Amino acid sequence: MPIEERHRADIVEIGRRLHDRGFIASNDGNISVRLDADRLLTTPTGVSKGFMTPDMMVTTDLTGRKLTGDREPSSEILMHLAVYEHRPEIKAVVHAHPPTATGFAVAGIPLDRAVLAEVVTTLGSIPIADYGTPSTSELADAVRQYIRAHDGLLLANHGALTVAHELFAAYYKMETVEHFARISLVARQLGGERLLSREEVNRLQDLRGRYGIAAPAPFCPPDRPEGKEGEDVSCQALEAPWQPGARLVEAQTVGSGGAAPRDVRLGLLGPDDGIRLTYRELTALIADAVKQLR
Ligand SMILES: [Zn+2]
């Protein structure tokens, strides 16, 4: 099968999977792939990506100008172009609105805690690109700031974006983002994640190198934020506390931005369950209570 035909068929299949999994509703989402040095193949605008046929796709040049196709290219083509411009090795981009990950994007909570080893080694952290009006260059600019250092992004009050060296890899990263978001949500409802320690994260970073797992950027050193205001992000900020000798560590910023896990945990327990708090948890509880009294 010629390569373009293969890509058209793969985009149809990925659209169907995004729709079946509830990652998109109505005409949401878009998918694109590089055909060669000068051309992209992209989903058309204004159709459900769950019910496309190969002939619906549109080819464009690297400025987004339509070359062939009966329909118009994706309205988010600028966001895709920003990725291809800044990541020459990237061949495919998937954008969708998976509900749990998008919930984090709407709540302003990035998926940047070191929780699952396979997510740390593959995607690393998943930050939130600033809000930009969909289909405008604002959104493309917001993506541009993070895309050099990340293969998966949340888009504030919008959705998620994943990129890879080929179409299905980009789609699977979207699955991972949503799966990770669901696990994070459940863990927070159950009282909050325990985090991988910084030592363990360093070990995982070494594994990236040993197994040749392509990561766009290293993790940021704990004492250095991801970048200065207005500058493009060049490393992956990951919450992983230092605790020598430990692999798992209690989160230090409990419930930042979300439901307070400690309150949830107390709420789930009856009066006879014998709540046991560590000294640190107890002092934090008292501090919270004092703050609320003020
Ligand atoms: Zn969208």
Distance from the CA of 129 to the center of ligand 1, in angstroms? 13
Q: What is the pLDDT of residue 278?
A: 56
- Kindly report, residue by residue over 69-109, the tens digit of the pLDDT: 999 999 999 999 999 999 999 999 999 999 999 999 999 99
Among 170, 189, 208, the domain-final residue is 189
Instruction: Please give the Cα distance from 254 to 249 (Å, whole number).
Output: 12
Domain enclosing residue 274, as ranges:
265-294
Average pLDDT, the chain: 87
Q: How far apart are CA 17 and CA 82, in angstroms?
A: 25
Q: How confident is the model at residue 213 (pLDDT cuts 50, 70, 90)?
A: confident
Residue 68 domain-assigned?
A: yes
Alpha-carbon Rg for the chain, nearest whole angstrom, is 21
One domain, residues 142 and 271 = no
CA distance 222 to 250: 16
What pLDDT does 86 receive? 96
135 inside domain:
yes
Which stretch, 64-73, 196-205, 224-233, has highest mean pLDDT? 64-73
Q: Ligand 1: distance of its center to the CA of 29 in Å? A: 5
Residue 244 lies in a domain: no
Say yes or no: 159 and 272 in one domain: no
**Do you know the residue count of the chain?**
294
In the chain, pLDDT over 70 holds for what percent of residues?
83
Q: Give domain status of residue 231, yes or no.
A: no
Centroid of ligand 1 to alpha carbon of 226 (angstroms): 25
Rounded percentage of the chain residues whose pLDDT exceeds 90: 71
Q: Which of 76, 178, 200, 239 is catalytic?
A: 76
Q: Look up 178 and say whether it is catalytic.
A: no
Asked if 208 and 54 touch (Cβ cutoff 8 Å), the reply is no
Q: Quote the ligand 1 centre to 35 CA distance (angstroms).
A: 23
Neighbours of ion ligand 1 (CB under 5 A): 159
Tens digit of each residue's pLDDT (9 = 90 or more) over 230-267:
677 889 999 999 888 899 998 765 444 443 333 333 33
Instruction: Report CA(39)–ligand 1 centroid distance (Å).
Output: 22
Q: Does the residue 146 lie in any domain? A: yes
Assess if residue 210 is contained within a domain.
no
Least Cα distance to 96 among 85, 87, 105 occurs for 105
Same-domain status, 156 and 289:
no
Residue 229 scores a pLDDT above 70: no
Number of structural domains, the chain?
2
